[in-house]
Structure 1
Amino acid sequence: MYPIGCTYRHLMTTGEAPEIGTAIRRMRRWRGMTLDALAGLSGLSKGYLSRIENGRQAVERRSTLAKIANALRCSVGDLTGTFVPTDQGDSDVHGAIPDIQFALVTTNLDHARSAPQRPTAELKAETARVADARQACDYTEVGRALPSLLVDLHATAVQGTGDDRNEALRCLILTCQVTTLLVRNLGENLLAWNAAQRGLQAAERLGDPVWAGVAEFAYTQALVSLGAYDEAHEHAQRALRELGPDDDKSIQVYGTSLLTAGFCAVTAESGQADDEIAEARNLARRVERPNAFWLGFSDANVDLWRMSIALESEDPVLAAEVAARLAPEAIPLRSRRATFFIDHARALAGLRRPDREVVELLRRAEQLAPLRTRNNVFVRSMVTEMIERSRRDSGGRELLGLAERMSLVRPA
């Protein structure tokens, strides 16, 4: 029995991040729930859940996590946990979380605690630099810059007038997008939601439907990380209703909203995404200058969404076919190339291809984006499953090295 007054989060704070199966088993036992009961409440089979709990089955879909979390009356984040840093770069990024959180807690769009510290033009340039750094996976630099940027943008948005105020609001929407995507990748899902909410508030003050669509995208990503797929779908649909693909930039926001809506419908098991993918593909071919608002929208990016949607539809064959046709060098953004390798690995793992092929793809993702790869819930689940197999079979140096960097095993 666990001590009276003991919270689940306290149980999970053991000095190292548990893998998902262990987290599910701990939560189930803390709830006093049998495996049969969890199977009945989640709609998943007892054998499947048992294999997940024992690390013999990777979690392959977000909807699976959501079903288990709902049955256990906890958040998805309670099951995925927060990654424990293993090198200085990772530690520096995680060390920025309290400052980012403090910056959001101590600011609002009604009044400023201090006067603006930097000219608007400088804030605009800094916003672009930080957004570029996130897409380049330079998370240490992003984490270092965000707290002061958030504070300064709020001050200008509140105290500035005319063009300065509007520019600060636009920059705040982008900075909240960067914040949302960064901290979500660190497992800080509630903080991501708070940052995305602030971006929505800035968009409401600005009153521009295109910028509102940009803010809605960040908000849907935060909702997805919390397992709120139906709500994310509603927000993507709202962006579509208020937008129109009128020019190069609005096309990219509209196309991203289409893909988000399709992804969320599939993940929530409430619809398909074929029409959204087809329409987004046609729009991508009209784009003249990709990556407006740092959304990465392009023809190659549509393929990346198609892979993710196929994986959520339990169709690793289609995901692998798309990956085979998509050359990594055709993906200009480092962050999106890392996503490609991760999803390609998920597809091969779903097809039960040799572990060495999966590990090689994960190694390439880790080279591009170490922290993002090591903290990815599906990567951690795949590596855990492969470790269990390697203990029964012959193992491999690349796999064990990756597992050590993810804190899933201790160095020998």
Structure 2
Amino acid sequence: MNDFPPSEIGRRLREIRAWRGLSLEVAAGLAGISFGYLGRLERGEQALTNRRTLESLAQALRVAPSEFTGRPWETPDGPGTEAYAGVVAVEEALDVCQLGDDPGTRVREWSQVRAALAQLEQCRGAGDYQAIGGQAPELLMELHAMYVRKPDQRQQILIGMIGCYFAMMVMAKRLGVRGLPLLAAKAAQTCAEELDSPQWRGAAMWMRGNVTGSLSRPQQYSRAVALADELTAGTDDPQVLQAYGMLHLSASLAAAVQSDRSTAETHLDEAAAAADRMEKDVGEFARMWFGRVNVGIWRSSIGLELGDGPKAVEAVHGLHIAAIPDAARLAGFYSEAGRVLLAEPQTRDNGLGLLLKAETLAPQRVRSDLFVREAVADQLRTARRDAGGRNLRGLAWRLGVAPEAGSSPN
């Protein structure tokens, strides 16, 4: 299989381990995995399949997890090349914008700003990182100017800022940009504190854990649990209840990545109990989509993280997943389930179908996903070149892991 490119993550692992001056045995021991497994990862003979291993390796080698996740814009004509152009504008906006300072930009009527915010939310929901980079920076600066000039509208302005920051967080995370997601997360939390709203404090904390939790799962867990406890008394308010439930889902994921199944299931059950108190299956507050449907999706994803394999996908059976009006969220689940099913011979075709469905829903979201790229490349490395037919080879080509750089999928 010499015509296949080396594993993206394997190359980075080998480079960083050599830079740290660590042997395979020492690095593997620090990460809590076997040196044979680490060797196979580095040689591209086995795909990396879960957050737990990725983050353990990052901790062992004393780097951020994003060092391994690849930078899509570095691949010629890769999935993130055009989207990355907006990162510089995002970085500038995050530097310029500080609550209470007027950046001097022009401002429009609130009706126009509200329409622009709705359009930005659509871009985030579609996983369109190129559009986010083109719209969010200027909109954020306009909102900061309005905050100073129109104090009577500050509540809605602050909520708009949180939406901008979250869009930037997601964009920067998916493109593998270090530092910016955390800056945006902290700015969003500042806005939530200024709102003095428990539900928005909860939403901002969930956003932070969702985007930056890989930096420290223990911190993600403790912060989510502490704030959920604070919100308990106010859960008669539907919006507070939704924020409370999402914080328990965040805590569950943090526990799962730390291999604590019991704790993960405890928080899943608490989230499910909160969802059962809702009238709707899908809530709308802060576009977190908390409710019975999303709890089922999280239960499946956490089972996949814990190594339950295809069995974990059964958690969504009977749920109307399409009720969540967020293409990127659905694509995230379909891609996660798809890559796990793809690895098993008996579910391989179903897995490929889910990955293709995810790509149709949110192309940039899926094509910048390291775990999807690893799963597809692994299929090509371990099978005949034409295995899986045109669909698998076409997906590999669009992900930038085609057997021959620049080759046609046909």
State if a TM-score over 0.5 links the two structures: yes
Report the CA distance between 1:399 and its aligned residue. Answer: 2.1
Q: 1-side partners of 2:142 and 2:7: how far apart?
A: 38
Matched, 1:230 2:218: yes
Q: CA deviation at 1:96?
A: 1.0
Contact 1:304/1:340 (<8 A) preserved = yes
Question: Identity of counterpart residues, as a percentage?
Answer: 32
Where do 1:134-149 residues align within 5 Å?
A: 134-149=124-139
Q: Which moved more, 1:256-265 or 1:347-356?
A: 347-356
* Aligned twin of 1:27: 16
Seen in structure 2, the aligned counterparts of structure 1 residues 203 and 387 have a Cα distance that, compared at 3 Å, is same
Q: Which amino acid aligns with 2:162?
A: I
Per-residue deviation, residues 344-379 of structure 1 (Å, max 9, x unmatched): 213314545454432222111111111111111210
- Structure 2 residue 363 is the aligned partner of structure 1 residue 373: no
Pick one of 258, 262, 268 that aligns with 1:277.
268
2:39: which partner in 1? 50
From 356, 378, 383, the equivalent of 1:385 is 378
Is the partner of 1:273 in helix, strand or coil?
helix
Return the letter of the residue paired with 1:201. Answer: T
For residue 258 of structure 1, what is the amino acid of its counterpart?
A: H
> What is the DSSP-based 3-state SS (H/G/I as helix, E as strand, rest coil) of the residue aligned with 2:247?
helix
Alignment of 1:108-257 (within 5 A): 108-114=98-104, 117-161=107-151, 163-224=152-213, 226-243=214-231, 244-257=234-247
Q: Which amino acid aligns with 2:204?
A: A
Please give the alpha-carbon distance, in whole angstroms, between the structure 2 residues aligned to 1:216 and 1:411: 42
1:357 to 350, 353, 363: 350
Mapped pair 1:405 → 2:395: no
Give the superposition deviation at 1:149. 0.8
The aligned counterpart of 1:297 is 290
Cα distance in structure 1, aligned partners of 2:7 and 2:196: 44
- Kindly indicate whether the alpha-carbon contact (under 8 Å) linking 2:65 and 2:215 is maintained by their aligned counterparts in 1: yes
Look up the equivalent residue of 1:62 and give its one-letter code. R
Amino acid at match of 2:172: V
2:341 matches 1:348: yes
* CA distance in structure 1 between the partners assigned to 2:384 and 2:59 by the alignment: 32
Residues 291 and 298 in structure 1, CA contact (< 8 A), matched pair in contact too: no
1:331 and 1:202 map into 2 onto residues whose CA distance is 26
Give the whole-Å Cα distance in 2 for the aligned partners of 1:293 and 1:302: 16
- The one-letter amino acid paired with 1:232 is Q
Please give the root-mean-square deviation of Cα atoms over the aligned residues, in Å.
Answer: 2.5
Change (3 A) 1:67 1:293: same
Determine if contact 1:355/1:386 at 8 Å carries over to the other structure: no
Partner AA of 2:101 in structure 1: H
Alignment correspondent of 1:92: 82
For normalisation by structure 1, the TM-score amounts to 0.88
Q: 1:62 to 1:217 in 2, by over 3 A?
A: same
Within 2, Cα distance between the matches of 1:272 and 1:240?
15
Shift of 1:397: 2.4
State the alpha-carbon separation in 2 of the partners of residues 346 and 156 from structure 1: 45
CA distance in 2, matches of 1:260, 1:28: 31
- Deviation of 1:337 (Å): 1.9
Question: For residue 165 of structure 2, what is the amino acid of its counterpart?
Answer: C
Instruction: Output one character per residue of 1:228-277: Cα deviation in whole Å (capped at 9) or x when no partner.
Output: 11111122123212323222222211111111111112213355222322
